Structure 1
Amino acid sequence: MIARSRGNVEIRRVSELDRWTFRASDLFPQITEHELRAASAILGDRFFDQQSHAIVLAIHTYVVRIGTTTVLVDTGNGNGRDRPNLVAHHMFETDYLERLRAARIQPDDVDLVICTHLHPDHCGWNTTLRSGTWRPTFPRAEYLFHRPEFEAMRDLVIGGADNGVQADLIRMWNDSVQPVLDEGRWGLIDTDCVLAAEGDAVITARTAPGHTTGHLIIDIDEAGGGSILCGDVIHHPLQLLFPYLSQGGDSDPSQAAETRAALLRRCIHEGKTMLTAHFPAGVEVSFDSQENTYTCLGDNHSEARASRAQNQLLIG
């Protein structure tokens, strides 16, 4: 699906998983019953399962074409990954590569792979299992890692862990990162790294810490506006209403909230469209600074608008 195409830039969203549900308290441990009910009433069935009261997410990746360069941003969870402690990520079997090909993207077409951060649902398809060995999925691509994120995860791996979430993160490194280091083309980048440029269009990786130490956003500047691929700076539309709510996986909840608020203010002031990693139904978020509103637009072009009062929470 073409998320947007303008001038020298085309962005295609390729979803690995269309519906991924969580108990609200598991995803947002500090959420109150009042906040949950308010968000559910405003946002509706697309974002909440009204029977179970579960929060609905998805897993999206993005292919950005600028000039002759094809960039894959995030690679989803991947199939067959042993994650006994992170059970929501355990042993997926999806048709992601077929979806990628249906979007007219072959693995050999990809020039750059960059993950917003090194969590299992953002770097899994870095590799695929072939003849019992994890090998890079995109053989021509250069895989780019943000230096602080890479170093923090490498230190965790060196330190070791016997059980729990950290043990699953080490498993992730071993099946989704180490094979790239052993066999693929890869490099480390620092913040504000220009990934590609063509005419007046520029793709830049910028730091957005909090969810992880070295989390990135991918900033696409072009004439008349642009887009931001926000990764896990924001997980669910209820954080548009309550941006102070931290997700359970945030390594630094206070910094994550500051980063989220700053990103939302920037989208409003610069007229940027936010393309999300986990909003269901392929939702993108556009902002109107004059009306002080945001709009969540899905594949079926249905919309959910926030009132002026609700939006003041967003930018407050």
Structure 2
Amino acid sequence: MDDSSLQIRRGDRFAFGRNWNAFVDLVDEGRIHSAIGSLRAALGVEDLAGRTFADVGCGSGLFSLAAHRLGARVHSFDFDAEAVESAVRLRRSFAPDAAWTIERGSILDGDYLARLGTFDVVYAWGVLHHTGAMWRAFDAAVELVAPGGLLFVALYNDQGRQSRIWTAVKRRYNRSGPAVRGALIAGSSAYIYRAWPLLEIGRLLSGGPRRTVTRARGMSRWHDMIDWVGGYPFEVSKPEQVIARAHARDLSLLHLKTCGGGLGCNEYVLRRPGRSVGAQEPADPAGDLVHLGGPRDQPPQGHSR
């Protein structure tokens, strides 16, 4: 049994790959189009033609596929074997002949990373805070960025006491049986989404069909919710911490979108000095600081995929 499977069985890790394997069944051209749009907007590019793209913790592979559609040569990897399977399924369905490599690997495995080299774009959306060693993972992701390249990363916002409560919820979820997990999903989603989960939880418990709602970035509200409640390990950070760490490693901030101090991910695009990969420095960097609503207005998007 591999490391990720053992951690899942012990309740020390959420089955991310299992959740996103289910999500792959929902992927269609509409979701792919949304994912492509979000990459274009954040990176400030029309395409990624001739660029290399590393998808760290690729999950379902949706954003690897989006990068491929934009013209990039893509390398995807994930610690979770089921996530790798998900990405392979997605490639088989939508890009069977793509210049797109998918393999098992960990951002915390220095020997593995040393074999990869560097990339024009390194994408790690909602991943590094689930490694159990977020800052080490962040530093490792930085090392994958080529001169002039971009690091596109999203990390959970530090809400202080509320983040500690969510940590306890996630730990309990992974160490409990189906009944407790269902209760935690119902309670958490009622808090975040208000009335929406009541019908969905009823459908789930009765074995009926689940109504899926497409979210920003092409994601699924239901699968994001499962990922949010179960997503463990779980670490958080403040924007000023991330920006300071990036600057200490000679990366400049190109784009920042926060969740307004609430629940969810803060999103960063960081640039290493050197040749440009196409994203333009904003004339007024403060103009890229975008605040979204608090926890009830802006539900979390959990894992990147």
TM-score tier by shorter-chain length is 0.3 to 0.5
TM-score computed with the length of structure 1 as normaliser: 0.34
Structure ranking higher in helix proportion: 2
Structure ranking higher in strand proportion: 1
TM-score computed with the length of structure 2 as normaliser: 0.35
